[in-house]
Amino acid sequence: YYCHCYISVTSQSVRTGFIGGEVLLPCVYSEWLSEPVTAFWRDKDDNVVLDIINGKEDKMDPKFRGRVFSFPNHYKTGNLSIIIKGLRADDAGPYDCDIPKVDYQTKMTLKVTGQFSITSTLLGTPQCLCSSSSGVFENLHFTIVLSSFYKYKIYVHLYAADCYTIFLLQHTN
């Protein structure tokens, strides 16, 4: 009698990228894969991020066309990772990579943020001037709260819509 056993392995991680930038989403099986290699990448809406069929890039949702790249020369070594370029806010969310032949699946969450800088000016009223590397703040809402004003020390908190402090400015005159 011969018995073939497969262990289903699932892992999960968080990857972060910036709007307009790029991010590597890893999918690496620890052993060499016999040809032909097949793998399926899906996003939060079950869109086809990339299908690799018989060692070749096959299908891709139009949303990802021209933005998703893989490493064909490394498929047989177990590396089915992808790079997403030109990141958009709607790229954020969970991603799955499935290699059915070896019952391997990896899950990750992509966070996409705006890369921005803040400068302050004290002209009677504290002001924060924000700029983004992409020039776009999609679905972001900021609230500036003057938390204290004592002997020319001003503390300003900048909050995102989810109420996390993302910047603390201390201006001393």
Tokens of 170: 């201390």
What is the per-residue pLDDT for 129?
Answer: 47
| 138 and 95, same domain (yes or no) | no
What is the per-residue pLDDT for 114?
Answer: 76
Residue at 2 is within a domain: no
Residue at 42 is within a domain: yes
| 64 and 18, same domain (yes or no) | yes
Most confident of 12-21, 26-35, 54-63, 141-150: 54-63
| 140 and 97, same domain (yes or no) | no
| 94 and 14, same domain (yes or no) | yes
Task: Report the C-alpha gap between 83 and 63 in whole angstroms.
Answer: 14
| Strands laid side by side in the 165-172 sheet | 143-150, 153-159, 165-172
Residue at 76 is within a domain: yes
What is the per-residue pLDDT for 85?
Answer: 96
What is the per-residue pLDDT for 12?
Answer: 57
| 108 and 132, same domain (yes or no) | no
| 39 and 68, same domain (yes or no) | yes
Under a CB-based contact definition with an 8 Å cutoff, are residues 159 and 168 in contact? no
What is the per-residue pLDDT for 37?
Answer: 93
What are the b/e assignments for 103-115, b being 16+ CB within 10 Å? Answer: ebbbebebebbbe
Q: For residue 36, is the peptide bond before it cis, meaning its omega torsion is within 30 degrees of 0?
A: yes
Q: What is the DSSP letter of 102?
A: G
Domain of residue 13, residue span:
9-113
* pLDDT tens profile 120-145: 444 444 444 444 444 444 444 444 44
Tokens 């020319």: give the residue.
152
**Least confident span in 17-31, 70-84, 104-118, 155-169:** 155-169
| 32 and 83, same domain (yes or no) | yes
* pLDDT tens profile 56-67: 999 999 999 999
Output the domain CATH number for residue 17: 2.60.40.10
Task: Report the C-alpha gap between 40 and 79 in whole angstroms.
Answer: 13
Residue at 129 is within a domain: yes
Task: Report the C-alpha gap between 135 and 45 in whole angstroms.
Answer: 27
Domain boundary among 90, 113, 136: 113
| 50 and 129, same domain (yes or no) | no
What is the per-residue pLDDT for 149?
Answer: 45
Domain boundary among 80, 97, 113: 113
Average pLDDT over residues 109-116: 80
What is the per-residue pLDDT for 126?
Answer: 43
Domain boundary among 93, 113, 133: 113
Domain count within the chain: 2
Tokens of 34: 């016999």
Tokens of 134: 């992409």
